[in-house]
Structure 1
Amino acid sequence: MTTEPIFDTAHLAHVELFTDKPQESLDFFVDLLGLTESGREGDSVYLRAWDDYEFHTLKLTASNTTGVGHIGYRATSEAALHRRVAAIEALGAGIGWTEGDLGHGPAYRFRDPDDHVFEIYFQTRKYVAPPEERPALKNQAQRYHGRGAAVRRIDHLNLLANDVAAIKAFLPQALGSRVTEQIVLDSGELAGCWFTVNNKTYDIAYTRDFTGSRGRFHHLTYAVDQREHILEAADLFLENGVFIETGPHKHAVQQTFFLYVYEPAGNRVEIANAGARLILDPDWQTVTWTETERKKGQAWGLKTIESFHTHGTPVVPLRHG
């Protein structure tokens, strides 16, 4: 049986991160990662990369914890939004409507099977650059300022899940996502799954949470244009005392050139190359990686370090046995 593709969801729009070190985290995202502050409301600061078209792609919220607050997707139209809401409600995953916030209009919130909170909306606040941020090229959202790593746009995020198979069944029905790649262990357990709603190779990934917890965050990724920019970012982080967890190197899964660091509150952040692969094939067949293949390490042989499997936010004790 062939299922007609669903194109109701346009793209990953923004991520809310919690930080228990709000000023230190803000300094990292602005001065080192290179985001620009576009507004403040309550305990949250709204941030954007220089070629993001929306008002914000990161909502940084002061909290007594860390991890992800919610994940936002934008629908392709008002009608598409309501089709997705009906599908989500049929799945029994709905939370309900909100009025939106500083960056967008009414949004429908829901939970994935692992209790991560999502929202989907259409009405958005498109960024209008103030005079000091106006670009030289009119087809660019904001001027290229070259601050810090000067990331270009939001790319994807990775969430941890207790049951990745449940997520694989849920997201295609809720958002119309396609599964591009996956990891299947020798036991038959699904250990990782990569999803896209458009022609990017992925906008969200889920990997197994070895602690047995629910609702935790693995990493958020911003893109730069070239691998060389990632090497420069590594030097920048080194000089500023930022913890580099792994990389620069190249993933085997999805082939992304990567660098992973921890921002001051402990949330993992990745810088990746924006020129990565696209999937234009409308009937792409999911690529499956075996446990043996993954034990070989990354594309050029770098072994995946233990913390990549165990560290998530909020931090919880690793479950044994």
Structure 2
Amino acid sequence: MQPEPFRDIAHVGSVELFTPVPERTRDFFVDLMAMKEVHRQGDSIYVHAWDDYESYTVKITGRDRAGVGRTFLRAASPQALRRRVEAIEAAGLGSGWSEDEFGLGPVFLFADPDGHDMGVYYETERYVAPDEHRPSLKNQASRFPGRGANIRRLDHVNYLAADVAAAGEFMTGVLGARPTERIVNDDGSPAAVWFSVCNKSYDLVYTSDWLGARGRLHHAAFATDTREDILRAADVFLEAGIHIETGPHKHAIQQTFFLYVWEPGGNRIELCNAGARLILAPDWEVVTWTQAERAKGQAWGLKTIETFHTHGTPVIE
């Protein structure tokens, strides 16, 4: 059964990444992921994926350590925004309104139970391509870049959490997301849960932090049109000296074709393609994977490498 407030959140709008080398992280997204720099403000650089209808896709912020900053969620309507704000406040996790976010109207700031910063909003500034990037087809945001990974949009964010169960209760009970797949430990506790806020198979993920730490990032993921874009990106990253952690390959969970790399600041970045897989059933039953099933590896037999379980940002020595 899906939660009653399902679809009050329309989609994940953008994500902020902390990095100790903001200019190098900017070059990674612009030169290799084929995004465009659209704005600078304070110690932040804003970059835009070619078919994102909103004004930016990633906010790159200079910090002493890598990690995830604020994730921005767009509400489906002003009424949906009010409902989610009321639910967040009732949960005691809100921290008030901000009108200082580039490209966004009023944003209600809050944190999940694990300490990951988030913001929910409705009013947004739509991207208008400058003449040199104006598309031939008026139903896309910008001209197809034809270089690097050709990233089309932000796909999902995977958080590390000390308490996956508590994060899951927040996702369903407060934000109205629905779980689509999960990994369950032998003792019955959740090791990871994938949540959807729309018809995509997943938008937000919580994975158990092996250190028991709070507020860390596992990875941010970006969607390509085709698997071939990811295969070409692997060659692009190889030539650029970017650390390729694992893949290209296909996940068993969610069946996503993937490539994982570490951007220069240290954050894990996934390039992903889920094909045409959508969750259309209104009464979708959560798919559960056991520890034994996960030990078999990925869809085509690739074993999950050790750093996939141990690396998170900020790095804890």
Once residues 231 and 3 of structure 2 are traced to their aligned partners in structure 1, the CA distance between those partners, rounded to angstroms, is 42
Output one character per residue of 1:201-241: Cα deviation in whole Å (capped at 9) or x when no partner. 00111101001111001111111111111111111111111
Task: Find the counterpart in structure 2 of residue 261 from structure 1.
Answer: 261
User: C-alpha separation between the residues in 1 aligned to 2:7 and 2:234?
Assistant: 37
Alignment partner, residue 141 of structure 2:
141
- Match in the other structure for 1:223: 223
Aligned partners of 2:88, 2:111: CA distance in 1, in Å?
9
Deviations 1:47-77 (A, max 9, x none): 1110010001100011112101110000011
Task: Work out the CA distance in 2 between the residues paired with 1:5 and 1:281.
Answer: 16
SS at match of 1:171: helix
Match for residue 48 of structure 1?
A: 48
- What is the aligned partner in structure 1 of residue 250 from structure 2? 250
Partner of 1:72: 72
Separation in 1 of the partners of 2:305 and 2:44?
33
Q: How many equivalent residue pairs?
A: 317
- Stretch deviating more after TM superposition (218-227 or 244-253): 218-227
Residues 256 and 276, structure 1, Cα contact 8 Å, conserved in 2: no
Alpha-carbon contact 2:297-2:304 (below 8 Å) kept: yes
Given that 2:3 and 2:178 are in contact with CA atoms closer than 8 Å, whether structure 1 keeps it comes out as no
Deviation at 1:4, TM superposition (A): 3.2
Q: CA deviation at 1:2?
A: 8.0
Segments of 5+ residues of structure 1 without an aligned counterpart are: none
What is the identity, as a one-letter code, of the residue corresponding to 1:104?
L
Separation in 1 of the partners of 2:108 and 2:233?
36
CA contact (8 A) 1:225 1:274 kept: no
Alpha-carbon distance, 1:6 to partner: 2.5
Match of 1:191 in 2: 191
SS at match of 1:254: helix
1:296 partnered with 2:296 = yes
Contact 1:108 1:120 in 2 (8 A): yes
Q: Deviations over 1:120-155 (max 9, x none)?
A: 000101101111110010001000121321111111
The 3-state SS of whatever aligns with 1:96 is strand
CA distance in 2, matches of 1:274, 1:296: 21
Q: Which amino acid aligns with 1:152?
A: R
Preserved contact between residue 3 and residue 176 of structure 2 (Cα < 8 Å): no
The question of whether the paired residues in 2 share the 8 Å contact of 1:252 and 1:298 is answered with: yes
Aligned to 1:171: 171
2:14 paired with 1:14? yes
Contact 1:244 1:262 in 2 (8 A): yes
**Deviation for aligned residue 1:103:** 1.7
Q: Distance in 2 between matches of 1:86 and 1:284?
A: 27
Q: What corresponds to 2:286 in structure 1? A: 286
| Residue aligning to 2:119 | 119
**2:161 — aligned with what?**
161
Name the amino acid aligned to 1:64.
Answer: D
CA deviation profile, 1:178-205 (whole Å, cap 9, x unmatched): 0000000112221000001100000111
Kindly state the Cα deviation for residue 3 of structure 1 after the two structures are TM-superposed: 5.0
Q: CA RMSD of the aligned region, Å? A: 1.2
1:284-303 Cα deviation digits (max 9, x unpaired): 01110000000000000000
- Please, which moves more after superposition, 273-282 or 126-135? 273-282
Task: Indicate how the Cα distance of structure 1 residues 230 and 139 shifts in structure 2: closer, same or farther if over 3 A, else same.
Answer: same
* Alignment partner, residue 97 of structure 2: 97
Question: Which runs of no fewer than 5 residues in structure 2 stay unpaired?
Answer: none
Letter aligned with residue 67 of structure 2: G
**TM-score relative to the length of structure 1:** 0.97
Identity of aligned residues (%): 60
1:65-110 CA distances to partner (integer Å, 9 max, x unpaired)? 2101110000011111011000111111111111141121110011
Distance 2:118 2:2 in 1: 28
Deviations 1:151-188 (A, max 9, x none): 11111110000010111111112211000000001122
Distance 2:244 2:191 in 1: 24
TM normalised by structure 2 equals 0.98
| 1:38 corresponding residue in structure 2 | 38
- AA in 2 matched with 1:30: V
Three-state SS of the structure 1 residue aligned to 2:253 is coil
